[in-house]
A and B are shown apart, each in its own frame.
Chain A
Amino acid sequence: MSDVKEEKFTPAADIEAQAASWLQRRRYWSWSDDDQVALEAWLDESLAHSIAYWRLDAGLGRAERLAALRNPAPDQARLAFSGQDSQPRNRIFPTLTRIAVALAVAAVLGAATALFLLRPHDRTFSTPVGGHETVAFADGSKIELNTDTVLRTRMTTEQRVVWLDKGEAYFQVKHDPVHPFIVIAGDRRVTDLGTAFVMRRDSARLKVAVMQGRVWFDASNRQKPLQSALLTPGDVATATAGAMLVTKDTDRALKTNLSWRHGVLIFKYTPLADAAAEFNRYNRQKLVVADPAVAQLTIYGTFPTNNVELFSRVVRDVLGLHVRANGDDIVISH
């Protein structure tokens, strides 16, 4: 599988969630010797487990000490709430209690908002030029948005639909045979069959590359049949207005195309014109390759996506080209 190396370890967020679950059980619920044994077994499973637990335990302890949140007399809270001044023993206690009670009241009022937030509805996610963001959904699926991307989601109990309006995104889908995960990009549609894949949409074409599992690639509108295909790992489908081409990429090439997930661009004997175009997706400051001879020169290396300056410095020093700023542009020439 392509991503073995990355997926081997448990994500920190998962471990932290487990640690928090243990900690709250121990703190707020009845706790038996058996529970203790089970907790210790979990802690011993890996150092990462222990560390996450130590951290949350210390964090909670510190929060409590700091805010003196713990166990002020309940009637004091009520007094503060009713607006009468109780004799403060120190300054922090009553103030915080009052804040806490106010928060509690707000919390009750806020319940309506929470319900609204929990109700499934359409949401829009977008990233600016140079942006990069991951959205996690309740079903366990994740979407990672690359630079300058807009997508909309409709996640309900009946359906999971995403519209990729522009840009590029990496999808990691929790497979659910009853509720397929569908991504619509204009007149094309991808239906996941348990999967990780990346989609990139620009004005002229749509590109889908599959890392894991399988996806079904077809027309989004049944009235307008387009060529369809079942894509498996390594498959890259490129669709333009009327045509679709499926090619096989090596594992290595696929990873290179996903390097944006790590904030870098990888070039391997890439023509300067293409490299510049890639950079321009991520930065407001645009690279302009002035003459065709220069555009044909190739470049090899890894660059942070947001560092045009570094790139132009390397181009200048390594390829011996002339680089100059022209307003918002950086012009590369002989």
Chain B
Amino acid sequence: MSETPEMEFEGVRRRGEAMSPSEVAAWFVREVLPLEGILMQYLHHNWRNQSDITDLRQEVYVRICESARQRLPDHTKRFVLTTARNLIINRMRHEHVVPIEAVADLDALGLAIDAPGPDQIVMARDELRRLQAALDRLPPRCREAVILAHVEGLSGQEIAQRMNIAQATVSEHLANGIRGLTDVVFGDRGRNP
């Protein structure tokens, strides 16, 4: 796709400059996704209807990536959480006036921003445990497909034969497996098993 040399966008010196799509992708994976646990915690805490949370997360991600195309934020965590806060306030306003105090409550945000980032080493150990738990929580057939794919390295077609189910069903299991594992790896569903 893009033929820009890799070297050019390495490191943090390009803060504040416009980015190409692949740079946005790399930045998103490197800096934003590790914050997903914190973001989700913030959303869970400030939005009552838990079934809206993934939509809110998507909207936060779209907003920050749109903005990152123009200019990379100086402080990713602050930016992510501020975007989430503004989004929630807008959603509340969408219907009506929000009492000042409700908005003030959201400003517990400052606490989240200043909280120390997750320690990478502790995280890794913790994640491994969560990952095992995540595998456990997948529906049995889905888990079986995921394990056949990853442990035995079977292809989709081989899994279909082995499990004696339709290929479309295998696809569904594998897709659900990817989603379940991703949620856990980035620290949401592991929160309340």
Question: Which residues does A use to contact B, with CB under 8 Å?
Answer: 5, 9, 11-13, 15-17, 20-21, 23-25, 27-30, 47-48, 50-52, 54-56, 58-60, 62-64, 66-67, 69-72, 74, 77, 92, 96-97, 99-101, 103-104, 106-108, 110-111, 113-114, 117, 132-134, 144, 255-256, 259, 261-264, 266, 301-307, 310, 313-314
Contact = CB atoms under 8 A, between A and B. Distances in A.
Contacts of B132: 67, 96, 99
B95 A29 contact: no
Contacts, number: 203
A111 B173 CA distance: 13
Interface in B47-103: 47-52, 54-55, 57-59, 61-62, 65-66, 91-92, 94-99, 101-102
Contacts of B151: 69, 72, 77, 97, 100-101, 104
17 contacts: A11-B54, A16-B58, A20-B179, A24-B174, A50-B25, A51-B61, A63-B185, A66-B128, A66-B131, A67-B132, A71-B150, A114-B140, A134-B49, A255-B95, A262-B95, A301-B97, A310-B102
Contact of A58 (B29, B101, B128): B29
Q: Chain B interface: which size bin?
A: 35 or more
A173 B65 CA distance: 34
A264 B47 CA distance: 10
A25 B173 CA distance: 12
Interface in B133-152: 135-136, 139-141, 143-144, 147-152
Contacts of B128: 66-67, 92
A16 B91 CA distance: 22
A24 B28 CA distance: 21
A16 to B, nearest CB: 6
Main secondary structure, interface of B, reads helix
Given A56-B178, A114-B139, A304 B102 contact: yes
B95 A21 contact: no
B58 A52 contact: yes
Given A70-B153, A302-B96, 17 more contacts: A9-B55, A21-B175, A28-B149, A60-B181, A66-B127, A66-B131, A67-B128, A70-B150, A71-B153, A104-B144, A133-B50, A262-B94, A263-B47, A264-B96, A266-B95, A301-B96, A302-B97
B35 interface: no
B48 A305 contact: yes
Which 5 A-B pairs have CB atoms at the shortest separation, nearest pair first?
A59-B182, A263-B48, A110-B140, A12-B58, A134-B51
A17 B96 CA distance: 33
B58 A100 contact: no
B95 A264 contact: yes
Nearest to A100: B151
Nearest to A135: B51
Given A47-B65, A77-B151, A107-B147, A144 B91 contact: no
A178 B142 CA distance: 31
A133 B102 contact: no
Nearest to B150: A69
Contacts of B143: 103, 107, 110
A256 B101 contact: no
Contacts of A255: 95
Nearest to A44: B21
